[in-house]
């Protein structure tokens, strides 16, 4: 009995801190730590502190004894109470949150997570209640606010992230479609303004990617607001007032923390999100697509014969999809969308039948304004399903307001019910949506191949920022566009098809551009529908990125580099034994193929041209094997 009492007392001290007299608050700081990612490295540790004088909360994040995020404000203001100050600690409870799930797309198919969750309970002025949930895992720290019914609308957050002043920062200024370029600053010297909530910071070899997860129509999307000269980035919400008529759990304020490989390979924002709401996912099939917009523009979207030609080309390549972009339902000579019998006038059913015979699925572009009411969704979605269309590319939401997020809450179950894959353009970024709604194959939220202002530095930053958070429809492969930032490097353009993960990898080139580059065409014919594993081989944001992604026993490698021509080196971190690395490089007369035999863990040396890159397939070496091509 004595031993049991001692054990209970020890557990009480662990959970709530030092004992305290009634009415006296001595607890002022608590820690939450996740499992260590490896024996030689301690994982992220969160330290929540309550200032007893002001009743204000701060959160600090460290890793292996080094501060990554300085003590930063934590708090929320509702129409009923200011819960950023005057708080009194009530109690703490801890639990372990762990699980496994399979993703339809992403950098890793089979996933397992384990987090420590601590719930801190506070009371504010007038008895207002606030719970702060803090989670820590091997690759991140996150927190959210939980408010009871009757708290009223949210007027804002005091949440912020304060970084070491000299921390390197990779930031993109905010815009409603999340498509601005990333540029490098330091945390304190970045210009004043608003930045996208996908900001990367680095200090002392440790990185922190600021993100959010579990964003739905119950709340408003965040951006980062920065004042010049200060290393603090506070949360700004799209809406000045977030409507709430019941209990509220805000989105997670997430920090993906670790070395660069840990951050790049992390699935933390998905792990935080709710489990899948789609019971049967057997119909959800990712894969490459021939995207006809950059290949043929609006005329292609208005021409059945052109689209049949694209279907034939995709079938010959083994690509499972063709995406018909804008124009197919806006030609007044074909049909009028206001006509109740409008579907009789479309040639899409004929294209679907033609494509089905060739084992190619059709996806179609549609403007969000044609799906923004329940009546329109009931008109469009069942019809597209009846026609046999496999997916929809929905464009021009151009908002992260609570009202728009509520529209996402409506379109997601509707597309799942009608077995339609989804690609959102002019949109928010994934933020955990792909775990909860696995039919979401990809989202734009990126300044991709369609735009004409990209830089080599932007290309080398995306794998460490936007693409960490979820699938990204950059639309690589547009060899025919002379203005692309790696125009002198066809090998670098080819490598983007691996470097950037997307559940539907929309390949943006013309058939003629692929036929003129048989090595690129051969490589793209090998691209898998999805990836089993992802590993960072080398890189630094804004300078270079080399990622390897596995499907079965084969690894696909893509690399991009900035600066002058040089020989790039990287460890072949694929496993022990001998590997055949089937390289595609820029040669004097175009793309060249160069097979090499290398041992796992050895250094791979690759010549790259100015602002160039490379692509490769790696497979286990066996005597007589000279190619990693998939058996025909």
**How big is the chain, counted in residues?**
632
pLDDT value, residue 631: 75
Supply φ then ψ for residue 557, to 5 degrees: -125, 135
Report CA torsion sign: 428, 258, 61, 141: positive
pLDDT of residue 380: 95
Alpha carbon distance 196, 175 (integer Å): 7
Element (H, E) at 371: none
- The DSSP output letter for 433 is H
Residue spans of the domains in the chain: they are 27-272, 287-528
Among the options 179, 395, 493, 582, which is catalytic? 395
| 354 CB burial (10 A radius; 0-12, 13-18, 19+) | middle
Q: Which residues of the chain have pLDDT under 50?
A: 1-25, 331-335
Token pair in block for residue 288: 């490459």
- pLDDT for residue 339: 60
CATH of domain 287-528: 3.20.20.70
Do the domains 27-272 and 287-528 sit in the same CATH topology, yes or no?
no
At residue 36, the pLDDT reads 77
For the question of residue 108 being annotated catalytic, the response is no
DSSP-derived 3-state class of residue 318: coil
DSSP 156-172: EE--EEE--TT-EEEEE
Structure tokens at 595: 């097979």
The order of strands in the sheet holding 590-599 is: 533-540, 544-551, 554-561, 613-620, 578-587, 590-599
Asked about 450 being catalytic, the answer comes back as yes
Report the alpha-carbon distance of residue 263 to residue 108 in Å, rounded: 14
Question: 368-397: buried (b, 16+ CB within 10 Å) or exposed (e) per residue?
Answer: beebeeeeebebbbebbeebebbbbbbbeb
Catalytic residue among 70, 139, 450, 457: 450
| Residue in the block written with tokens 């991709």 | 448
Give me the half-sphere count of Cα atoms (radius 13 Å) on the Cβ side of residue 267: 26
- Residue 194 CB-density burial (10 A; 0-12 exposed, 13-18 middle, 19+ buried): middle
| Full-model pTM | 0.93
Work out the number of other CB atoms within 10 angstroms of the CB of residue 560: 30
The one-character DSSP state at 295 is H
Hey, what's the torsion of the CAs at 201, 231, 55, 131, to 10 degrees? -30
CA distance 206 to 620: 33
CATH topology assigned to domain 27-272:
Beta-galactosidase; Chain A, domain 5 (2.70.98)
Provide the 3-class DSSP secondary structure of residue 408: helix
- Give residue 341's pLDDT: 58
Instruction: Report pLDDT for 42.
Output: 79
């Amino acid at each position: 009995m004595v031993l049991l009492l001692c054990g209970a007392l020890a557990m009480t001290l662990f959970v709530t801190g030092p004992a305290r007299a009634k009415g006296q608050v001595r607890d002022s700081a608590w820690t939450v730590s996740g499992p260590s990612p490896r024996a030689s490295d301690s994982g992220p540790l969160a330290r929540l502190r309550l200032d007893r004088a002001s009743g204000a909360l701060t959160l600090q994040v460290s890793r292996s004894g080094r501060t990554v995020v300085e003590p930063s404000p934590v708090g929320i203001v509702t129409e009923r109470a200011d819960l950023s100050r005057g708080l009194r600690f009530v109690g703490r409870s801890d639990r372990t949150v762990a699980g496994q799930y399979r993703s339809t797309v992403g950098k890793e198919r089979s996933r397992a997570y384990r987090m420590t969750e601590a719930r801190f309970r506070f009371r504010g002025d007038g008895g207002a209640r606030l719970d702060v949930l803090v989670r820590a895992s091997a690759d991140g720290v996150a927190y959210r606010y939980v408010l009871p019914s009757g708290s009223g609308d949210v007027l804002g957050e005091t949440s912020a992230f304060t970084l070491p002043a000299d921390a390197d920062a990779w930031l993109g200024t905010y815009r409603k479609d999340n498509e601005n370029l990333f540029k490098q600053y330091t945390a304190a010297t970045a210009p004043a303004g608003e930045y996208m909530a996908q900001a990367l910071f680095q200090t002392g070899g440790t990185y922190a990617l600021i993100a959010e997860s579990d964003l739905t129509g119950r709340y408003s999307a965040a951006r980062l607001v920065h004042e010049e000269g200060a290393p603090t980035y506070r949360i700004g919400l799209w809406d000045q007032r977030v409507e709430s008529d019941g209990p509220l759990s805000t989105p997670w304020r997430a920090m993906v923390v670790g070395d660069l490989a840990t951050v790049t390979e992390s699935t933390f924002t998905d792990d935080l999100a709710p489990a899948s709401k789609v019971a049967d996912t057997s119909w959800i099939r990712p894969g490459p697509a021939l995207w006809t917009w950059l290949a043929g523009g609006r005329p292609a979207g208005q021409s059945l014969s052109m689209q049949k030609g694209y279907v034939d080309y995709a079938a010959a390549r083994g690509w499972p999809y063709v995406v018909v972009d804008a124009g197919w339902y806006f030609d007044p000579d074909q049909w009028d969308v206001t006509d109740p019998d409008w579907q009789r006038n479309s040639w899409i059913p004929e294209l679907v039948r033609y494509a089905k015979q060739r084992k190619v699925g059709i996806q179609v572009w549609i403007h969000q304004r044609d799906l923004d009411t329940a009546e329109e969704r009931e008109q469009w979605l069942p019809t597209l399903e009846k026609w046999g269309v496999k997916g929809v590319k929905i464009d021009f939401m151009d908002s992260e307001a609570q009202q728009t997020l509520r529209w996402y809450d409506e379109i997601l179950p509707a597309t799942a019910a009608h077995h339609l894959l989804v690609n959102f353009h002019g949109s928010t970024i994934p933020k955990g949506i792909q775990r909860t709604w696995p039919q979401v194959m990809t989202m734009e939220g990126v300044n991709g191949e369609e735009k004409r202002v990209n830089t080599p530095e932007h290309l080398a930053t995306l794998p460490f920022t936007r693409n960490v958070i979820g699938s990204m429809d950059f639309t690589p492969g547009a060899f025919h566009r002379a203005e692309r930032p790696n125009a002198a490097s066809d090998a670098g353009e080819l490598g983007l098809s691996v470097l950037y993960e997307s559940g539907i990898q929309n390949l943006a080139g013309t058939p003629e551009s692929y036929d003129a580059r048989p090595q690129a065409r051969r490589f793209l014919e090998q691209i898998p529908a999805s990836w089993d594993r992802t590993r960072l081989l080398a890189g630094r944001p804004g300078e270079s990125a080399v990622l390897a992604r596995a499907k079965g026993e084969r690894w696909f490698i893509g690399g991009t580099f900035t600066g002058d021509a040089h020989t790039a080196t990287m460890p072949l971190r694929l496993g022990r034994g001998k590997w055949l690395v089937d390289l595609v490089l820029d040669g004097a007369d175009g793309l060249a193929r160069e097979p090499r035999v290398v041992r796992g863990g050895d250094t791979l040396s690759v010549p790259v041209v100015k602002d160039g890159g490379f692509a490769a397939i790696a497979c286990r070496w066996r005597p007589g094997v000279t190619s990693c091509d998939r058996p025909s």
